[in-house]
Structure 1
């Protein structure tokens, strides 16, 4: 059982790390820059970290920019305000994501500017056969190491890990929690200490300072990903865009 729990935790946090570091803070918000080599590296690393629920950094980045531009309006790709429940929100988000990913959606240039795009790799990583083989890998792993029947209930979460993380923030962090800032949408800080979602739960802070790489604001709001960003900047893996605090607004 211990091996399965370790694997689940590794998949949870590695998938979440790549989504918040590469897809969210880099692709969507451009909080820092990186060389083409490191951009390709994190593309590939995201594939192995996210597995069957690999998300295109391009489609994610564009869709997230739409979320910030139209938060809690009818144009928001995911808003509890316009969806009956979290499942209908997930389904609508899936449709918008697919339309962006396949080029069927007409997107203004300002939402696609400088979003990293490695479309050939995305086509491979998002192929149904590749996603299916990832799920087969999960099932085989559990067959050999799961010694409790209930552990198999974790396999569906592995299969949809990325969207599972997304719905926690996009649904619950717009309905529950506390607010540090009075912004024009319903964003909330989901929890005062966010180890569970690696800082993504500080959603109200993020909607106030959209380009700020540290999602924490109060002294107790520790963003677990920011130390990695600081370290990667010191190692010259990335280059932080140092700004005045007010420049991060919006």
Structure 2
């Protein structure tokens, strides 16, 4: 039971910071927050993602490129241009690292209003940090695992961020249903998304990229993060932009 609780908690906490902070805030600028709260969510992302922490700055730029170049040869992660899911993961990582270290030229339009905390990223993205978090996961399993097969979950903990990204960027461009006839292969992977916190409504998202509610097109499409965003807006921790509620087509 302890292993199951730990796995589920890590899955959803990591996924929340990815979809709330990296995706809806950093990538799509759907709401604003002050610098102190931004740095709070930087640190929270580091804690929840651990060994698979990515720079929100580089992630946001890469994701904007995905929307601008979806399914073309410039798309950082399109199933159309990779032989299998592992090849796509390697391609994504290569583009991400190129953006992060500055070796990949990036159009200035993709950098607008992207959060950046270089000093923190330099600390969080060290090998020492990755090894530390990996040892934390392994140690927990040593103390609480009750069967050998439980140890097979450790690689998912270590690669939690890429696992989440792969589910959406590979499977949600190949399987599922479509609400909108957009100019790409995006699909809604799940009719009720309690697994990916709304990220599985990928066809909806490609139609309305900056809307804070990824679901809501059909009665059964419930985005669990949407009410959280509304509460945080009510508490003035974030400020939702009116355009994120109304806008149908956006730049990215």
Indicate whether 1:173 and 2:187 are aligned.
Answer: no
Taking the aligned partners of 1:204 and 1:165, their CA distance within structure 2 comes to 17
C-alpha RMSD over aligned residues: 1.0
Indicate whether 1:145 and 2:149 are aligned.
Answer: no
Number of residue pairs matched by the alignment: 249
Taking the aligned partners of 1:147 and 1:246, their CA distance within structure 2 comes to 50
Alpha-carbon distance, 1:220 to partner: 1.1
Taking the aligned partners of 1:220 and 1:85, their CA distance within structure 2 comes to 31
Structure 1's 244 and 99: CA in aligned 2 closer, same or farther, altered over 3 A?
Answer: closer
Alpha-carbon distance, 1:67 to partner: 0.1
Taking the aligned partners of 1:23 and 1:244, their CA distance within structure 2 comes to 16
Alpha-carbon distance, 1:21 to partner: 0.2
Taking the aligned partners of 1:244 and 1:61, their CA distance within structure 2 comes to 17
Scaled by the length of structure 1, what TM-score is found?
A: 0.98
Structure 1 segment 103-142 matched on structure 2, within 5 A: 103-142=102-141
Aligned to 2:31: 32
Taking the aligned partners of 1:230 and 1:246, their CA distance within structure 2 comes to 15
Taking the aligned partners of 1:189 and 1:167, their CA distance within structure 2 comes to 14
Taking the aligned partners of 2:79 and 2:173, their CA distance within structure 1 comes to 7
Deviation string 1:6-46 (CA, Å, 9 cap, x unpaired) is 01101000000000000000000000000101000000000
Aligned to 2:83: 84
Q: Higher mean Cα deviation, 239-248 or 160-169?
A: 239-248
Aligned to 1:97: 96
Aligned to 2:241: 241
Aligned to 2:3: 4
Aligned to 1:162: 161
Indicate whether 1:55 and 2:54 are aligned.
Answer: yes
Taking the aligned partners of 1:13 and 1:154, their CA distance within structure 2 comes to 15
Name stretches of at least 5 consecutive residues in structure 1 with no aligned partner. none
Alpha-carbon distance, 1:246 to partner: 5.8
Structure 1 segment 166-205 matched on structure 2, within 5 A: 166-205=165-204
Alpha-carbon distance, 1:243 to partner: 2.7
Helix, strand or coil at the partner of 2:242: coil
Scaled by the length of structure 2, what TM-score is found?
A: 0.97
Equivalent pair of 2:210/2:244 in contact (CA under 8 Å): no
Helix, strand or coil at the partner of 2:247: helix
Equivalent pair of 2:31/2:244 in contact (CA under 8 Å): no
Alpha-carbon distance, 1:245 to partner: 6.0
Alpha-carbon distance, 1:244 to partner: 7.9
Aligned to 1:21: 20
Aligned to 1:228: 228
